[in-house]
Amino acid sequence: MLIDDTPVSLRLERLRPGIGRQLFAGPQPVAVPAWPGTVLRQLPLRLLDTLLDGLALAGVVPACAQAIRPRQLAHLAGRLCAEAALYALTGRYHSVGRQPDGAPCWPAGVLGSITHDVHGALALLAYRSDYRWLGIDVEPLLDEASCEAVRHACLTPRERRWLAAARRPAAEATLRFSAKEAYYKAVHPVLGGPMGFLDVELAPLEPGRQTFRVEPAANPVARDCLPVLEGRFVEESGRVVAVIAV
């Protein structure tokens, strides 16, 4: 069977001429901090769904052919953001492949990270010569039940104590979860191997600063192999975006 490796943005352009000019023409939904040498693209799912109204997506996103439409839109939006960022970075169209573990497969010399939630997708890219660690994650603010689940499953004992003293526990729990996701996306392509939420922890957050620091937890194995990385975050419109670019 032949595999069509044509960039999905070009395939969509054949189906909906002119769509490429509309996808990224509007303002950025979230004001994510910029790093020199990186390219960020964002795409709201509502806009994409409107532009693709009436179009079956199974043939456009074969990897999600059996999924419900919102899941297909999220996957498609992530790939479109990645391709748009690749074009801005390299000046060429590239398709974004998929590795066996589901992670994106980037062109040689390029480092990238994709994320999406129920509202939209984001992709952050850079050249490997400029950055070693690159990860981005977006999460909707956790409700009370989800906050409790994250507290038990994803936070170390020290983090739970810090969270108990937080002025806005749900927002801080969301950030800690999102920052760990961004950390995993940054570290896994370089180090490989399994890594759990309890292998790292965020240092206490400084009030008024939109920065975080992810450190190996009090675990000899984690401390020997996992780096300390700093990142930045933004909370806006009921969402948290965490970024690591080092």
* Binding-site residue positions for CoA: 71, 79, 115-116, 137, 181, 185
* Binding-site residue positions: 71, 79, 115-116, 137, 139, 181, 185
Burial pattern 185-198, b for ≥16 Cβ within 10 A else e, equals bbbebeeeeebebb
Q: Is 135 left (phi over 0), alpha (psi -120 to 50) or beta?
A: beta
Tell me the HSE value of 124 on the side-chain side, using a 13 A CA sphere. Answer: 26
* Binding-site residue positions for Mg(2+): 137, 139
Give the C-alpha separation, 180 to 81, whole Å: 22
Residues 141, 205: contact at Cβ < 8 Å?
no
Q: Give the sign of the dihedral formed by CA 107, CA 112, CA 117, CA 120.
A: negative
- Strand segments, DSSP code E, in 101-181 are 104-105, 110-116, 120-127, 134-140
DSSP 8-class letter at 26: S
